[in-house]
Amino acid sequence: MEPSSTIFFLCDLQTKFRPAIYGFDHVIASTNKILKVAKILGCEVLATTQKAKALGPIDPAVDLDSLGALCIGTYDKTLFSMLIPEVEALLKERSAVKSIVLMGIESHICILQTALALIVHPAKYTIYVLADAVSSSNSAEVPLALAQMRAAGINVTSSESILFQLIRDASAPEFKAFSAVIKEEKEATAKAVEELLIKTSFERSVL
């Protein structure tokens, strides 16, 4: 992976969904960690909302504003997949993009449908889903969705793992700032992994 050929997709992380989504605050924490490192490495971020007129904007706790020009837009949709015409147009303008990383909600609906649409895209993107930065209203849906995505050839990984894949080398000039974020977010990362990976996986194992 290279930062210059990687784009992050943030799906529908709107305040209106907060009461309904399992581990919503952990999804936001993982997302904000990603955004901090995206800024350091120069990765672009694209966001969507689902029917914002009725369901409102992205939660203000999500620090998209800090990205400046690296946030290439927030696009409203009714389609569950993020791959709406406006997003298709942005991707077409960015022929250098090879990797697309998904985070947001819901795992078994919008994230799943976006991932499945992208994995068969003619541009042949490599697709990643961050298991500690996605969730659903029903926590038991999450491991089912992740399993379906893995079976389709989508890479399911963690926020910390993907960030280290992007930085690659401890001698990189950005590593000092990168490392500071990783250390600063250590506790939040552990809590997100506990809630969104370990507990949901355990629930699935006992079903």
59 is catalytic: no
Residues 11, 71, 110, 132: which is the catalytic one?
A: 110
25 is catalytic: no
3-class SS letters over the chain:
CCHHHEEEEEECCEHHHCCCCCCHHHHHHHHHHHHHHHHHHCCEEEEEEECHHHHCCECCCCCHHHHHHHEEEEEEECCCCCCCHHHHHHHHHCCCCCEEEEEEECHHHHHHHHHHHHHCCCCCCEEEEEEEEEECCCCCHHHHHHHHHHHCCCEEECHHHHHHHHHCCCCCCCHHHHHHHHHHCHHHHHHHHHHHHHHHHHHHHHC
Residues 11, 12, 33, 59: which is the catalytic one?
A: 12
191 is catalytic: no
Residues 33, 36, 39, 77: which is the catalytic one?
A: 77
What positions carry a catalytic annotation? 12, 77, 110
